[in-house]
Amino acid sequence: MVTVRMPQPTADDPVKVDSKHYKIEFENDRVRVVRIKYGPGEKSVMHSHPESVACS
């Protein structure tokens, strides 16, 4: 799944709190593209989802 969104506060940034599953693919001052990848049965730590567009 790829998510496109504006940067968010570091405190609940999934890339910061769950770098095992979330990787930044592209980022500039207007757009952020994050790749999210989970294996079978894996779960994420608590984080937030600001305004975003997601595609799988």
The four Cα atoms 28, 56, 9, 16 give a dihedral, to 10 degrees, of -100
pLDDT tens, position by position, 9-23: 445 788 888 899 999
DSSP assignment letter at 45: P
Range of 32's domain? Answer: 2-55
* pLDDT for residue 7 is more than 60: no
pTM exceeding the 0.85 threshold for the entire prediction: no
pLDDT at 27: 92
Total residues found in the chain within this entry:
56
> Is the model more confident about 46 or about 50?
46
Which residues are CB-contacts of 29 (< 8 A; sequence separation ≥ 6)? none
Q: How many CB atoms lie within 10 A of CB 16?
A: 13
- What total of structural domains would you count in the chain? 1
Distance CA 7, CA 52 (A): 10
